[in-house]
Amino acid sequence: MIDKRVSTLADMVAACPDLRDGAIVLIGGFGDAGVPEKLIETICELGLRNLTVVSNNAGSGDYGLASLLKAGCVGKMVCSFPRSAGSIIFEELYAAGKIELEIVPQGTLAERIRAGGAGIPAFYTATGFGTPLAQGKETREFDGRHYVMERAIRADVALIHARTADRWGNLTYPKTARNFNPIMAMAAATTLAEVRRFVDNVAPEEVVTPGIFVTRMVEIGER
């Protein structure tokens, strides 16, 4: 019988060999919405180093993604908004030369992740052409317009936050907390989900992330 539910966050993280030094990790969320904060807190305790983290922004305050930065776990950030309200920890690390940064326009970031999940190795976009973001990348002209080739993003692990899940791993999301979570679940070798509430069955028409993309999950309760 398929049952992807795990009792505790610690058990779920400990059973994930893809969580290792140097891993590429996708972390869901948009601002504070949909961030897998409990999962991040648990991973901080592992003492991992040199992670490449792909997320929409670089965290704020000293919680969530920012706590992973503060713990010294991250060697490189790939994101769209490294500087946002309260992104003090990232700014301090970057100013001190302790972390690398790759800025990716938000739409391009979403498409790179989606492409990774769909098995598309690369694609062309007009976004970024003629700017420093296109330096070193292949460019081509189609129908009189210039485009930049962008590579898909595949990760070792995706950390996501969902509203409900059944034992098969079918997920739903609360409103704007959906954001990057569904495409990230598709683009990693292992997807770990923190879920507010387990249910007996998620109705087929309500499924956003099919269980085939989810490796393990744990119930964290309502926020």
Q: Domain map of the chain by residue range?
A: 5-120+153-219
**Judging by DSSP bridges, how do beta strands 100-103 and 122-125 pair with one another?**
unpaired
Tens digits of residue pLDDT in 88-139: 999 999 999 999 999 999 999 999 999 999 999 999 999 999 999 999 999 9
Please name the CATH architecture into which domain 5-120+153-219 falls: 3-Layer(aba) Sandwich (3.40)
Residue 214: its pLDDT value, please?
98
> Distance of CA 143 to CAs 69, 132, 147, 157, Å?
44, 23, 10, 38
138-168: per-residue pLDDT in tens?
999 999 999 999 999 999 999 999 999 999 9
Single pTM value for the model = 0.96
Nearby residues of 157 by Cβ (< 8 Å), 6 or more positions away: 16, 18, 19, 23, 24, 25, 26, 188, 189, 190, 191, 192
